[in-house]
Every structure is written in C-alpha cells, then in structure tokens.
Structure 1
Amino acid sequence: MAQTVTQSQPEMSVQEAETVTLNCTYDTSESNYYLFWYKQPPRRQMILIIRQEAFKPQNATENRFSVNFQKAAKFFSLKISDVQLGDTAMYFCAYRSTQ
C-alpha cells in the first residue's frame, strides 16, 4: 500500500531568534514506522535533522529542533527554536516503514 506525506506550507520568512513550526501530515495503515525531518541548504546536500519512531510515545528533540508527533491524527511538525541564518533551507518530512 502506498504511503503519502503532505506539506502544505509555502516559503516562509523568519527573523533570527524567532521560533518557527513546519507542519506535515501523512497517511498510513501501519502502526510501526519512522518519520523524519530533513533540511537542504541552498546548493547543498540534504541533512537529517531528527527522527521520530512511531512506537515511542515521547516526542523527539535534538538541540534547537523538536517535533510534535500526534499518531492518531497522523500529524508531524518540526519546531525550530532560536532560528539562525544557517537554518535557511528547504525542509522535507519523510516516512519510512519498518517492514
């Protein structure tokens, strides 16, 4: 069965030191899976920021990055605190089955 991941937010402008939240929804019939947030700075390779395991109830955090994972709602957001110039990038959420 195909899984779908949707990001609906357009380009965003944020001032340094602010906090920004990026939203992602997905569709799956599986109960165990991984969700990821990646960033791709201009003219550079994609970088993994954070990973969420669907079978762990606590939200993942990594330095200034944290997620809001709502399994029942199939919602997965990324919060970037204290935004810095180096955070300028395209951001992508991704899904991977454990199967």
Structure 2
Amino acid sequence: TFFSSMHRLCGSTVAQTVTQGETATSKQEGATVTLDCWYQTSWSTYYIFWYKQLPSGEMIFLIRQGSSSQNAKNGRYSISLQKAAKFITLTISSLQLEDSAKYFCALVNTHDGE
C-alpha cells in the first residue's frame, strides 16, 4: 500500500498564498496518484516547486514548473498547471514504496528560483 500525506505549506509573503488539497491518500504500488495545490500571487512570473519530505525531515526536490513554461515532466513526475485558475497538480506514476512521504508545493518568485 502506498501512503502519502500532504500538509499545507504557508510560504507566503504579501499577496502570496499556497494551499494544498487532501491531507492523506493511500494507493497501491504501481498505481498513479495526483496531488493538488492552489495558490494566489501578485507576481507576473513565478515557479512552483514540488518537494517530498523524508521521515528524517530531509526535503528532496522533485520538479519545478515555470508560470510561462510548458507543463514539466521529470521521470515519473509530471505537472499540469492551470495558470488562470491558479491551480497545479503533481502526478506520480508507477508508485513505489519509497514514494511514501509528505509532499509540499512552494511558490517562488522567478528571480529567486533561477
């Protein structure tokens, strides 16, 4: 069984907020899971980063999406950005046991994310 949990990440400054979807989900190995993230920002260009947190607390970078870029893909990780709706999803395919973790999305100003 695949277990993941998502927690809200408040990496917000003025007019910037990030909110994640369901707090936990369970999937079988080999399945696909989609994680949701909503955001608000006054920035015209930005990145959204996805990380997973290991039980040790270490944060592992997975993938990033630029606000002006085509949807990103990195191995088993793929992103779908709906910029007008300020909504982004991370899809993880072919789930493995080591995917069991807490997942976080973070909104970063373009100038800080390069």
Task: Tell whether the 8 Å contact from 2:46 to 2:66 is kept in structure 1 after alignment.
Answer: yes
The alpha carbon displacement at 1:62 in A equals 0.4
Q: Which residue of 2 aligns with 1:85?
A: 97
Alpha-carbon distance between aligned partners in 1 of 2:71 and 2:110, rounded to the nearest angstrom: 18
Task: Tell whether the 8 Å contact from 1:16 to 1:85 is kept in structure 2 after alignment.
Answer: yes
| TM-score (normalizing by structure 2) | 0.82
How many residues align? The count is 98
Indicate yes or no: 2:84 matched with 1:76.
no
Query: Secondary structure of 1:13's match?
Result: strand
Q: Structure 1 unaligned runs (5+)?
A: none
Aligned residues with identical type, % of pairs: 55
| TM-score (normalizing by structure 1) | 0.94
Cα RMSD for the two superposed structures: 1.0
Indicate yes or no: 2:98 matched with 1:98.
no
Judging by fraction of residues, say which structure has more strand.
2
Residue of 69, 76, 87 corresponding to 1:64: 76
Query: Secondary structure of 1:23's match?
Result: strand
